[in-house]
């Protein structure tokens, strides 16, 4: 008798739990609509990805992704609040609902995607480990680095990648480890090592710190895969789709030649069916995602297409001057590819 009661209680409890988890599934959009802004987790400071300018405005690629999501949901890129997160608290903040999107140069890996209750909505930046060398060395490729002394930040995966790379190519090297990335820069400048290795996006930032940035060059080889992208909680497909397609919309917009300058004009006058479907003049893209009909117009107008965001924050239009490289569109030799709108 007692056992039956217990079982009944358990069943009731689990039913209640099940009901409550179902209630939370698919409600991020509702919750966001209700509070009137998107809460977005960003980095606590990374050049080109998220930082604050002199006026206290957040800037960077990761920040612009958040702004784009806000523009998609509310038609207003300003309806977003940023929570700076350290590398350690970022996943907790997302899991506990403190932030709605985590856009914080987070590498998409199998374990993070499968076992942490997270979903990666796409890739905003294909990063990878690279090498920074002095031009005086006359090295044109990483394959000529045999016997080099390499400056590296201790305790990071870059250390392991480096050893893998040199082992697989059968070259010798001397690692010189430092605790802080600033120290590696100073060591390179002082000639303690020939090469500095780190994620490519960071190499460009470190190059600026050198007294004579023009005297150094980032080698073309990339020896590891670091796809960075926005992350959302697992179990809310509706919100996942919104973030994912916001990203796709920006990439598709660049491919279709739509920019913040011409998108409003094109929305009215374009005859191209691809453009018309993307911008909501035809088809059901907005309705399917539970977003306003003109959401892509708002995203591109207020934030820009993918190329504009890249240029402004890390590319030619910024201090970092990172080449598009593998982040170019797929039809221009890069990896950025978005499914068609249909």
Partner 1 sequence: MSTHTFKPSLPPPNMSVGVVGWIRANLFPNWFNSLLTLFALYLVWITIPPILNWALFSADWIGDNRDSCTSGGACWVFIKVRLSQFFYGFYPEDLRWRVNLTVLLAIVGAAPLFLRAMPRKLRYGAIYLLAYPVLAYWLLHGGFLGMSLVETSKWGGLMLTLVIAVVGIAGAMPLGILLALGRRSDMPVVRVICVTFIEFWRGVPLITVLFMSSVMLPLFLPEEVNIDKLLRALIAVTLFEAAYVAEVVRGGMQAIPKGQYEAAAAMGLGYWRMMGLVILPQALKLVIPGIVNTFIALFKDTSLVIIIGLFDLFNSIHQATVDPAWLGFATEGYVFAALMFWIFCFGMSRYSMHLERKLDTGHKR
Q: Which is nearer to partner 1, 90 or 277 (CB)?
A: 90
Q: Which is nearer to partner 1, 35 or 143 (CB)?
A: 35
Using the contact rule CB under 8 A, the part of the chain among 63-71, 80-88, 118-126, 297-305 near partner 1 is: 80-88
93 binding partner 1? (CB under 8 A): yes
Site for partner 1 in 207-226 (CB under 8 A): 208-210
C-beta of residue 303 within 8 angstroms of C-beta of residue 294: no
Measured CA to CA, the distance from residue 183 to residue 179 in angstroms comes to 7
Using the contact rule CB under 8 A, the part of the chain among 78-86, 128-136, 260-268, 304-312 near partner 1 is: 78-86
Measured CA to CA, the distance from residue 309 to residue 75 in angstroms comes to 18
Using the contact rule CB under 8 A, the part of the chain among 6-14, 117-125, 202-210, 328-336 near partner 1 is: 202-210
Site for partner 1 in 15-74 (CB under 8 A): 24, 44-48, 51-54, 56
Angle between helices 306-313 and 237-255 (to 10 degrees): 80
Measured CA to CA, the distance from residue 229 to residue 184 in angstroms comes to 27
Measured CA to CA, the distance from residue 19 to residue 34 in angstroms comes to 21
Q: Which is nearer to partner 1, 204 or 245 (CB)?
A: 204
For 158-218, give the DSSP string. Answer: HHHHHHHHHHHHT--EEEEEESSHHHHHHHHHTTS-SEEEEEHHHHHHHHHHSS-GGGEEE
Using the contact rule CB under 8 A, the part of the chain among 6-14, 94-102, 262-270, 300-308 near partner 1 is: 94-102
Q: How far is the CB of 91 from partner 1 (least distance, A)?
A: 9
Compute φ and ψ for 156, nearest 5 degrees: -115, 165
Site for partner 1 in 151-190 (CB under 8 A): 182
Q: How far apart are the first and last CA of the chain?
A: 59
C-beta of residue 256 within 8 angstroms of C-beta of residue 278: yes
Q: How far is the CB of 55 from partner 1 (least distance, A)?
A: 8
Binding residues vs partner 1 (CB under 8 A): 24, 44-48, 51-54, 56, 81-86, 88-89, 92-93, 95-98, 182, 205, 208-210, 318-320
């Amino acid at each position: 008798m007692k056992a039956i009661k217990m079982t009944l209680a358990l069943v009731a409890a689990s039913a209640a739990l099940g009901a409550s988890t179902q209630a939370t599934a698919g409600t991020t959009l509702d919750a966001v609509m209700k509070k009137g802004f998107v809460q977005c987790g960003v980095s606590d400071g990374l050049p080109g990805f998220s930082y604050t300018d002199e006026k206290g405005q957040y800037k960077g690629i990761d920040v612009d992704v958040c702004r784009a999501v806000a523009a998609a949901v509310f038609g207003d890129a300003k309806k977003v609040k940023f929570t700076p997160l350290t590398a350690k608290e970022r996943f907790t903040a997302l899991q506990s609902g403190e932030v709605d999107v985590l856009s914080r140069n987070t590498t998409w890996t199998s374990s993070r995607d499968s076992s942490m209750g997270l979903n990666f909505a796409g890739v905003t930046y294909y990063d990878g480990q690279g090498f920074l060398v002095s031009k005086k060395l006359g090295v044109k490729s990483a394959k000529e680095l045999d016997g080099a002394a390499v400056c590296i930040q201790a305790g990071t995966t870059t250390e392991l990648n480096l050893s893998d790379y040199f082992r697989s190519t059968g070259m010798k090297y001397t690692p010189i480890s430092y605790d802080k990335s600033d120290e590696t820069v100073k060591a390179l400048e002082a000639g303690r090592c020939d090469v500095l290795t780190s994620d490519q996006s960071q190499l460009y930032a470190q190059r600026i710190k050198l007294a004579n940035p023009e005297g150094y060059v980032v080698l073309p080889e990339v020896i590891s895969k670091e796809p960075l992208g926005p992350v959302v909680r697992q179990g809310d497909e509706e919100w996942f789709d919104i973030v994912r397609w916001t990203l796709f919309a920006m990439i598709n917009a660049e491919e279709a030649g739509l920019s913040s300058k011409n998108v409003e004009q094109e929305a009215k006058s374009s005859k191209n069916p691809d453009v018309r479907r993307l911008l909501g003049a035809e088809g059901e893209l907005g309705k399917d995602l539970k977003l306003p009909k003109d959401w892509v117009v708002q995203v591109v107008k207020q934030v820009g297409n993918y190329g504009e965001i890249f240029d402004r924050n890390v590319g030619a239009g910024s201090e970092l001057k990172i080449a598009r490289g593998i982040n170019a569109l797929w039809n221009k030799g890069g990896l950025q590819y978005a499914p068609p709108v249909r």
